[in-house]
Structure 1
Amino acid sequence: MKYYLAIDIGASSGRHILGHIRDGKMQLEEIYRFHNGMSEKDGELCWDYESLFTEIKAGMKKCSELNKIPVSVGIDTWAVDFVLLDKENKVLGNTVGYRDGRTKGMDQKVYECISEVDLYRRTGIQKQIFNSIYQLMAVKENHPEYLEKAETMLMVPDYFHYLLSGIKKTEYTNATTTGLVSPDTKNWDYDLINQLGYPRQIFREIKEAGSVIGGLTEEIQKEVGYNCEVILPATHDTGSAVLAVPSNEEDTLYISSGTWSLMGIERIEADCSSNSREHNLTNEGGYEYRFRYLKNIMGLWMIQSMKKEIKEDYSFGEICEMASKETIESIVDCNNDCFLAPKSMSEEVQKYCLNTNQVVPKTVAETAAVIYNSLAKCYQATIEEIEELTGRTYGKIHVIGGGANAEYLNQITARDTKRTVLAGPVEATAIGNLMVQMIQKKELENLESARNCVYESFEIKKFDA
């Protein structure tokens, strides 16, 4: 039996999931889980990549202990964050995360070099102040010595793949989130990079998802107890999740629901038009050079943050159930920057309601209800935008990822959008990661057959409009 290892690292946790095919269905086994999060260092919000890599190796070693040795491994993480390495391959500066405030005002610095309109026309990537293009400008403005010393820029999963294999490559789906890749050439836009004054040589070769980059280094082999191939999945976790949408229909609308809600469709060609830019939709790269035409919505980050603040040890399911019994009608703009990294999410929601002359939520249940109902309203508005831009209609929504378990949110999404909601699979990101590895190793024939396999293998819940 062939085992494949997906290492899926999100903003709050990571896990190692072994996958294999049995009787035509994909089987999953979570063998290791670990914590992740940002903490303050020198006044900046940072990730602890050293600790994360220790956890990566510990989970891989677990395969040896279980005597389930994978033929390949692939890592996916969140997007936009990166490391700069010097000529000795040491990380330059702090490993700053995307929620840090260092990018404030950096959009205007970028627009001194290229207009916002021209930037979208060239890259098709929606403006988000934490995009890599603005983070790099923050480095250039505040720590130009890092760029002077830098030999390599690697996105987070590419950095971990390098630590495993000793080989530096940049995977396509995540590279596109930098705002520095051309949707036409599928490569770095070096003219844009030159305009911005970023050192050209730090940008490594871009490889397509499914590329084999090598085996484990001898040092890593000794630590984990085996060798296997390192295969690039869609290293952007949303890129992997969208692969697991259990549908081969042309007009498939999805929400990759987790810390963020990524709502959109797949396209063969990018839409870099002014109309698309004005609606703030993005054209992120996907598997086989498809495009994930979607909008980033704040997502369950708001619920996750609120949960950390309350004294009671409620589960997410309990919070969902409590919210379903409330009648409060207040709505907040989920995409407002005030919800990106507030000191208190509950207080920020209350403040927003107060400032907009709405009923202020007073309890955990009321606050959760406001958040869930606001997400559903945001989904409704986004569908209308996508239908306007594509000239198509979408009768159902596939909800994948952890949010597929949020039954109340799925119910009100169906109600407010007047569309059928199909929820599942929950482990979409890990499944998509495994799909790419299995296709590369000929265990699955192609993307179409892989999606059929997902449909047959995992529970899909239906919520009627």
Structure 2
Amino acid sequence: MVKAVAAVDLGATSGRVMLGYVGHNELRLVPVSRFPNGPVETPDGLHWNITGLYEHALAGLTTAAAQEPELVSVGVDSWAVDYALLNAGRALGEPFHYRDARTATGVAAVHERVAASELYASTGLQHLPFNTVFQLAEDAQAGRLAAADSFLLVPDLLGFWLTGTAVAERSNASTTGLFNATTGEWDDDLIRRVGLPRSIFPTLIDAGARLGGLRPELAARVGTPNLQVTTVGSHDTASAIVAIPAADTDFAYISCGTWSLVGVELEKPILSEASRAANFTNEGGVDGRVRYLRNVMGLWLLSETVRLWNGDLTQLLEQAAAYDGPVAIFDPDDERFLPPGDMPARIAAWCEENGIAAPGSRPALVRSILESLAAAYARTIDTARALSGATVNTVHLVGGGSQNALLCQLTADATGIPVVAGPVEATAIGNVLVQARAAGIVSGDLETLRALVARSVPRTVYLPR
């Protein structure tokens, strides 16, 4: 029997509500609503409009319930690391955006107490200046924690607002820099050493757990008195990796959107010094898997460039594909590219500093961005193989970037490995599948769920040239 669930999928630049219809041999998505997302600048920095996102999610969920009155469940996923501080269940303002500059002081404060090598040995987390541990340390310095009795990561916050149940789903908790990669629990000793109050940390829970029904007033608004809220891989990449249409385990993945998360799937974390030096991360996946990966800057570089130009992306990609001049390869992970701003000028400055000719036209710059990303993907996959011993015969590229044919082909060329592109909506599919399994609509391990994706979703294969 085919049943319907709803996925609330919040990305860094947009959000969506999708209906997912799932049965033993059926999997399909129906878009319900899409809405923009992005930073809001206030006098004290960059924030997320989380209350606006919540309202969009509720409106989409109401529409979904009207279209499908027998809706069984809803699950929420989002980007990682950001959170709201709460007191007695009330949010103390809108969450800070991870691109806000305040995190630098948090990095220094944490490293004064705990060496980077010790952080990695516990958490296995790639150093990124906006990791939750650094944000919370800055909150402590600024006095914000004094008024808080808890904090919730973004998808957990929405789950709390929907149900009244405050928990932390493990896949997203694993991105905080305060989660022990070996035990799968909060690292109490690390929390103490960093100087954070243990009492603010919520109870951990796995993907596929039932949070409960909607609060009565929301059930009345949405029109679904029996709708359950289910935890999914609440870090969007954890959900996306569930939807990899892999025929075997010998694959690497690129979850490609605003960020590109590039890596392999493992059973256990790798916490070696060589892994730390390579800046690889061990993040939690669904069913206890480990997402061993690096964050690469991703299509943020292209979207910020196109925004600055007010350009036509389709036309620019066509021109970049036809461009046959010299291509500047730069390091997309340079921290200068993290904040919003003039990416073309920053890329030109990087090229000048490194003694190479900067792109001389818009098609050349777009081609430079895409070839630089492909080169970074290839380096990352090579390093992942070397550090983990994993065999990689296929690269699965999922998410919005899978629609970028030029990027997919350049990635196949750079890696020398066939690239399977799609599904585009991998995160929503993974979200839907975890809910469906929790509701008893389907059963099986991740490989079984992935086989259903492979039978149901079209893909495009790019062979190395």
TM range (shorter): over 0.9
For the Cα contact (< 8 Å) 1:400–1:428, is it kept in 2?
yes
Partner residue, 2:54: 53
For the Cα contact (< 8 Å) 1:83–1:159, is it kept in 2?
yes
What is the count of residue pairs matched by the alignment?
A: 460
Partner SS, residue 184 of structure 2: coil
Identity across the alignment (%): 37
Query: For 1:290-331, what per-residue CA distance to the aligned partner results, in whole angstroms no more than 9, with x for missing partners?
Result: 11000100011111111111133x13x333222111223201
Partner residue, 1:36: 37
Q: Distance in 1 between matches of 2:339 and 2:263?
A: 24
Structure 1 position 336 matched with structure 2 position 331: no
Partner SS, residue 28 of structure 1: strand
Question: Offset of 1:350 from its aligned partner?
Answer: 1.9
Partner residue, 2:120: 120
Partner residue, 1:95: 95
Partner residue, 2:148: 150
Structure 2 residue corresponding to 1:445, chosen from 417, 426, 443? 443
Moved more, 34-43 or 59-68: 59-68
Moved more, 331-340 or 362-371: 362-371
Question: Offset of 1:250 from its aligned partner?
Answer: 2.4
For the Cα contact (< 8 Å) 2:85–2:151, is it kept in 1?
yes
For the Cα contact (< 8 Å) 1:320–1:407, is it kept in 2?
no
Residue type at the aligned position of 2:104: K
Query: For 1:137-184, what per-residue CA distance to the aligned partner results, in whole angstroms no more than 9, with x for missing partners?
Result: 111112x2x212211110000000000001111100000000101122
Classify 1:219/1:387 alpha carbon distance in 2 versus 1 (closer, same or farther; 3 Å): same
For the Cα contact (< 8 Å) 2:22–2:436, is it kept in 1?
no
Question: Offset of 1:394 from its aligned partner?
Answer: 1.5
Query: For 1:394-438, what per-residue CA distance to the aligned partner results, in whole angstroms no more than 9, with x for missing partners?
Result: 222110111111110111111111111111111100000001001
For the Cα contact (< 8 Å) 1:10–1:78, is it kept in 2?
yes
Q: Distance in 2 between matches of 1:117 and 1:186?
A: 19
Structure 1 residue corresponding to 2:414, chosen from 413, 416, 420? 416
- The gaps in structure 2 that reach 5 residues or longer are none
Residue type at the aligned position of 1:98: Y
Q: Distance in 2 between matches of 1:393 and 1:52?
A: 40
Question: Offset of 1:93 from its aligned partner?
Answer: 4.3
Query: For 1:269-288, what per-residue CA distance to the aligned partner results, in whole angstroms no more than 9, with x for missing partners?
Result: 10111011001000000001
Partner residue, 1:81: 82
For the Cα contact (< 8 Å) 2:106–2:136, is it kept in 1?
no
Query: For 1:203-259, what per-residue CA distance to the aligned partner results, in whole angstroms no more than 9, with x for missing partners?
Result: 011000000010000011122111300000100001000111111522221101111
RMSD: 1.3
Partner residue, 2:13: 12
For the Cα contact (< 8 Å) 1:328–1:369, is it kept in 2?
no
For the Cα contact (< 8 Å) 2:12–2:38, is it kept in 1?
yes
Q: Distance in 1 between matches of 2:368 and 2:222?
A: 46
Partner residue, 1:454: 453
List aligned pairs for 1:6-405, cutoff 5 A. 6-21=7-22, 24-87=25-88, 89-142=89-142, 144=143, 146-227=144-225, 228-312=227-311, 314-315=312-313, 317-326=314-323, 327-405=325-403
Residue type at the aligned position of 1:388: A
What TM-score do the two structures reach when normalised by structure 1? 0.96
Residue type at the aligned position of 2:264: I
Q: Distance in 1 between matches of 2:431 and 2:384?
A: 27
Q: Distance in 1 between matches of 2:411 and 2:47?
A: 34
Partner SS, residue 20 of structure 2: strand
Q: Distance in 2 between matches of 1:392 and 1:289?
A: 18
Residue type at the aligned position of 1:209: A
Q: Distance in 1 between matches of 2:20 and 2:132?
A: 32
Q: Distance in 1 between matches of 2:292 and 2:213?
A: 33
For the Cα contact (< 8 Å) 1:3–1:68, is it kept in 2?
no
Q: Distance in 2 between matches of 1:364 and 1:105?
A: 36
